[in-house]
């Protein structure tokens, strides 16, 4: 749990400063010390709390692309349910491998996002693309909660500005986190999924990280801070992948 505590603070700081990365950092730490259901429910509750803080505790005008957000949320429903099923049949080692691979793939995408163009000019996208992104996002929410990368990719494709992207990802993630946590507690291992003694101290560190990240964002370059987050997330993903592979091999 000390590892999870450090990860909660650093992950919240990273996401508050850059709009991306909380689940990348905290997810592998939680899956290492809790059962899959406990880890995911804890991550969903903390992610929802962080998104609430980002959307409503900062004294600024929010820029949310509601039409895109609502379209993705409608498409995400089947993925949410499918993710709950996958979580119930996969072992902890398999989920550690899945988390590690998902984190590393997300890091690759994030590197491309940092180095590539900010937008593609709001290019038109087919309806099936929105449905695919929504289903994938919903499935990731209830299996690993690393649902940020497809959301970021979608809003970039739609030509969102940096401010719109940050707020729209938070606005899209918030209802997904709440719905995912409810589904897991109702249909998952409900007697073990909600661990208050883990959530409450990590929540305090998440709030502290959000405040710290806000100050970092105001004083330092978000791009440079994101680069540090990429390194940290890569180490977390490699660690989760290594532990999972070792467990499967043993």
Where in the chain are the domains? 2-249
- Mean pLDDT computed over 57-64: 83
Q: What is the pTM of this model?
A: 0.80
Q: Is residue 162 scored above 70 in pLDDT?
A: yes
Which is nearest to 229 in space by CA: 60, 121, 47, 107?
107
**212-221 pLDDT per residue, tens:** 988 877 776 6
Cα 49 to Cα 34, 45, 54, 163, 188: the distances in Å are 20, 6, 9, 20, 21
Q: Is residue 226 scored above 70 in pLDDT?
A: no
Overall size of the chain counted in residues:
250
**What is the DSSP code (8-state) at residue 142?**
T
CA R_g for the chain: 17
Q: Tell me the C-alpha distance between 190 and 186, whole Å.
A: 6
Spatial contact of 241 and 97, defined as CB atoms under 8 Å apart:
yes
């Amino acid at each position: 749990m000390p590892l999870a505590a450090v990860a909660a603070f650093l992950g919240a700081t990273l996401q508050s400063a850059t709009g991306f990365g909380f689940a990348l950092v905290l997810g592998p730490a939680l899956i290492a010390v809790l059962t899959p259901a406990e880890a995911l429910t804890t991550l969903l509750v903390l992610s929802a709390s962080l998104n609430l803080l980002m959307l409503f505790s900062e004294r600024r005008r929010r820029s949310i692309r509601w039409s895109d957000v609502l379209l993705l949320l409608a498409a995400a429903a089947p993925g949410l349910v499918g993710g709950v099923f996958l979580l119930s049949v996969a072992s902890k080692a398999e989920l550690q491998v899945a988390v590690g691979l998902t984190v590393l793939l997300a890091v690759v995408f994030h590197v491309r996002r940092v180095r590539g163009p900010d937008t593609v000019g709001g290019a038109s996208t087919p309806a099936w693309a929105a449905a695919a992104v929504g289903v994938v996002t919903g499935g990731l929410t209830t299996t690993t909660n690393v649902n940020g990368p497809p959301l970021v990719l979608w809003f970039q494709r739609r030509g969102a500005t940096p401010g719109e992207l940050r707020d729209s990802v938070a606005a899209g993630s918030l209802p997904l986190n709440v719905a995912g946590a409810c589904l897991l507690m109702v249909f998952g291992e409900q007697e073990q999924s909600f661990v208050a003694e883990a959530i409450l101290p990590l929540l305090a560190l998440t709030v502290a990280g959000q405040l710290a990240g806000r100050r970092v964002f105001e004083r330092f370059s978000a791009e440079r801070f994101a680069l540090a987050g990429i390194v940290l997330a890569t180490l977390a993903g490699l660690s989760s992948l290594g532990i999972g592979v070792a467990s499967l091999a043993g």
